Structures are given as structure tokens and as C-alpha cells.
Amino acid sequence: MVHPRHVYVHVPFCARRCSYCDFSIAVRKVVPVDEYVRGLDRELSVRFPAPSDWTVDTLYLGGGTPSRLGATGVAEVIDVFRERLSLAEGAEVTLEANPDDVSPDAIHAWRGAGVNRISIGAQSFDDMVLRWMHRTHDAAAIPRAVDTARNGGIENVSVDLIFALPDSVERDWERDVARALELEPTHVSLYGLTVEPHTPLGQWATRGEIGETPEERYEAEFLHAHAAMAAAGFEHYEVSNFARPGRRSRHNSSYWTGAPYVGLGPSAHEFDGTVRRWNRSAYVEWLRETVSGRDPIEGSETLQAEHRLAEQVYLGLRTIGGLELSTTELERTQAWVDAGWANVHNERYLCLTPLGWLRLDALAADLTLVRSRY
């Protein structure tokens, strides 16, 4: 068996649920670190029972809020993996963190455990907006967290922001982008707000307390962020992601290239190149299965030819590298180039512009339909 070189670990714990969140989380006042680590260890034993020479290039702790594991909890999780695999020289080890969890002691422990990249969930620099989002931190905690990480030796710092909030929130997007750039992060991720039905935000929308964000403002905020980030020297290398040269997220980039990856923890997904599988979503169910020595898998699917085709097109168009096209496909997509939605690089790669990324779903569907007829 050839093990994937990328590992994702879902840590579900949060202090509270954000207003927009529909992820698999477990709200806990006191995080059951030992219990979770034991479950993760058992899941690894069931999934990979035989000893092997397994080296990975990226290890990503996402959530949820992995930083809620605390200084020693994160180290314990990474130790579980070090018992079964080796981190390649220069491996990227990422930890998602809330600003209010970042302290000098935590950074010292995380760095000592091998964390060399931290992704800080800022979302906004406006205290009113943060309260509306049900975030646990205030704006002042964000620069403090960035400084603490750097002073503690973790210089590869990514910052997350959410854009396209409802008009009623009265958020100053341009100010938030400027504040993020002032921190001089190595990476920025921007996500447009989506209203999911089973969230506080979804309930507010159902009751008519908030309205939909106009498409024009969504586009304007996305394009403003692109222009500001580009002017600051960032590379817009994927629809939602910007990086300084040499600082792209290696882990997330593996998803966009279709590379196999392992997924562990509640609701985690994994892909071996042919089959996609996912774990039980609820923490208590995942824990029950793992501590009983059973695989916590909830479902799986084998990607058929048409699914592979659709994913190849969609993932290729998401990234700055673009999608390789045939002569016939290039002729068909000339209208996109003429409209300013795409460019052709090296005579055969179609790369979407920011305007094109705003129309990604429609463009990908059209090109997938064309390819399905071959």
C-alpha cells in the first residue's frame, strides 16, 4: 500500500457555534483532550494496522477550532502521528487557530511539536461584526495573535476573512482588507458568506431579519480584495486564496490537483485517487466507533468517469495554473477570453481571471458538457 503524502485531521471542538457555521463541531466548555487523542489513536490503528514506511509532506489540523486543544493537546495529537509516520524534511504542518487561543506558551509548545504554519480565523476587524458572527474574539486579539506567533518563531501566518455580509450588518470591507494587509501575513484566505439553512444565520434569513447580499456587492468586494492584494504583492493563486511568493498552502493545493489524502477525525473526508470516503459527523458517534476498535466510516463513493471529468475541469479552473485544453476547446472558449473572463497561457492552458472566477460554476459546467461528448 502506498500511503498518501497529505493528512488532514478534523478537530471538532469550539467554544460556541458561529452564526454562519454548518460544519461538524462539538461545543465544549472543557475540551476532552485525552478522550479525543485516544479516539484518534484508535482510528489510526484501525485504518493503518500494519507497520509501514510512511512519509508525509503536509499535516493539517483543521476544524472546528484545533487551537482549543491547548498548548499540550496539539502536541499530543502530532505525537500520535509521529508514532506511525515521518514528516518529510520541510514538511508543512498547519494549525487553524482562533486569535484568543494564541499565547506565548501555546506558540512555544506548538512550534516545539512541529507546527510551522498557523491559520488565524480573523474574519473581520470590526467588533460589531465579530459579535454578529458569534466569534469569541475581539478585533484587538487579531494583531496580538499574529505578533505572538511571529515572536514565538512561527513566521508563516495566514489570515482568514469573510466577505459579502448582508447590508444590515454595515461592514466596511475595504477597511478590513487594509487592516489585514497591515499585519503583513504570508497568506490570506477570503470566503464569501453563504446562508446555510441549519445555522443561526439561516434562521435569521427565514424570519426575514436579514436579506441576501446583492450579487453586485459580492462581485465588487471580491474584485476589490483582488486588486488590493495584488498591489501588495500577493499572488491570487486560487479562487479564495492569496499568497506571497513561495507561501502557497501546500496542503490545500494538494486538493486542487486531485492528489490522494488521508482524513481522520469526525466528518473528515479522504481520497485515494479513486474512492472518496467520509467519517461519521457527530463527535460522540465517531468516538464510540473508534474506542470500540471499529472504523468510523459513514459512507464512500467510487468516482465514475463523468465525476472525474467534472472534478478535473472544476479544480483546474479554480487555480492560477488553469486547465489544459484541446484546440477545439480553445476555440469554444474564445468568447470567455473576449469577455475578459479568461486568458490563454502557453498556447493551451485556459486560466480564469477574477471576473471569470465569479462565473466559475457556469464556465466549468459548460466545459464539462463539451468534454463529456468526446
Q: Which of 59, 144, 56 is nearest to 100 (CA)?
A: 144
Q: State yes or no: pLDDT of 338 exceeds 70.
A: yes
Residue 263 resides in a domain: no
In angstroms, what CA-CA distances link 366 with 54, 224, 298, 320, 357? 40, 27, 33, 19, 14
Asked if residue 222 lies in contact with residue 356, where contact means CB atoms within 8 angstroms, the answer is no
Judging by beta carbons within 10 Å of its beta carbon (0-12, 13-18, 19+), is residue 48 exposed, middle or buried? middle
pLDDT at residue number 173 = 98
What is the pLDDT averaged over residues 299-304?
94
Residue 198 resides in a domain: yes
Share of the chain above pLDDT 70, in %: 99
Residue 262 resides in a domain: no
Instruction: Mark whether 148 and 236 lie in a shared domain.
Output: yes
Band of the pLDDT at 1, cuts 50, 70, 90? low
Residue 298 resides in a domain: no
Q: State yes or no: pLDDT of 211 exceeds 90.
A: no
Band of the pLDDT at 306, cuts 50, 70, 90? confident
Residue 180 resides in a domain: yes
Instruction: Mark whether 246 and 349 lie in a shared domain.
Output: no
Share of the chain above pLDDT 90, in %: 86
Asked if residue 173 lies in contact with residue 148, where contact means CB atoms within 8 angstroms, the answer is no
Asked if residue 19 lies in contact with residue 132, where contact means CB atoms within 8 angstroms, the answer is yes
What is the pLDDT averaged over residues 111-128?
98
Instruction: Mark whether 234 and 309 lie in a shared domain.
Output: no
Strands 349-352 and 323-324: antiparallel
Range of the domain at 84: 6-256
Beta bridge partners of 96: 119
Residue 219, C-alpha cell as written in the block: 462581485
pLDDT digits (tens, 9 = 90+) for 143-191: 999 999 999 999 999 999 999 999 889 999 999 999 999 999 999 999 9
What is the pLDDT averaged over residues 270-287?
95
pLDDT at residue number 260 = 95
What does the alpha-carbon distance between residue 278 and residue 43 come to, in Å, rounded to a whole number? 13
Domain with 127 in it: what CATH number? 3.20.20.70
Band of the pLDDT at 49, cuts 50, 70, 90? confident
φ and ψ at 273, to 5 degrees?
Answer: 105, -20
Judging by beta carbons within 10 Å of its beta carbon (0-12, 13-18, 19+), is residue 197 exposed, middle or buried? exposed
What is the pLDDT averaged over residues 103-121?
98
Instruction: Mark whether 105 and 252 lie in a shared domain.
Output: yes
Q: State yes or no: pLDDT of 255 exceeds 80.
A: yes
pLDDT at residue number 305 = 86
Asked if residue 290 lies in contact with residue 344, where contact means CB atoms within 8 angstroms, the answer is no
Instruction: Mark whether 73 and 184 lie in a shared domain.
Output: yes
Beta bridge partners of 302: 275
What are the residues whose beta carbons fall under 8 Å from the beta carbon of 122, sequence distance 6 or more? 99, 142, 159, 160, 161, 180
Instruction: Mark whether 197 and 331 lie in a shared domain.
Output: no
DSSP letter for 198, please: T
Band of the pLDDT at 52, cuts 50, 70, 90? confident
Torsion of CA 356, 358, 364, 367, to 10 degrees: -30
In angstroms, what CA-CA distances link 81 with 9, 55, 71? 10, 11, 17
Q: State yes or no: pLDDT of 267 exceeds 80.
A: yes
Instruction: Mark whether 44 and 114 lie in a shared domain.
Output: yes
Residues in the chain, how many?
Answer: 374
| CA angle (263 as vertex; 257, 267 as ends), nearest 5 | 115
Q: Please state the pTM of the whole predicted model.
A: 0.95
Instruction: Mark whether 334 and 193 lie in a shared domain.
Output: no
Residue 278 resides in a domain: no
Instruction: Mark whether 188 and 330 lie in a shared domain.
Output: no
Cell 472558449 belongs to 333
Instruction: Mark whether 247 and 177 lie in a shared domain.
Output: yes
Instruction: Mark whether 141 and 225 lie in a shared domain.
Output: yes
| CA angle (274 as vertex; 282, 303 as ends), nearest 5 | 80
Q: State yes or no: pLDDT of 8 exceeds 70.
A: yes
Boundary of a domain, candidates 256, 288, 315: 256
Boundary of a domain, candidates 256, 271, 286: 256
Q: State yes or no: pLDDT of 251 exceeds 90.
A: yes
pLDDT digits (tens, 9 = 90+) for 55-95: 999 999 999 999 999 999 999 999 999 998 999 999 999 99
Residue 208 resides in a domain: yes
Residue 272 resides in a domain: no
Boundary of a domain, candidates 215, 238, 256: 256
Band of the pLDDT at 119, cuts 50, 70, 90? very high
What is the count of structural domains for the chain?
2
Instruction: Mark whether 32 and 168 lie in a shared domain.
Output: yes
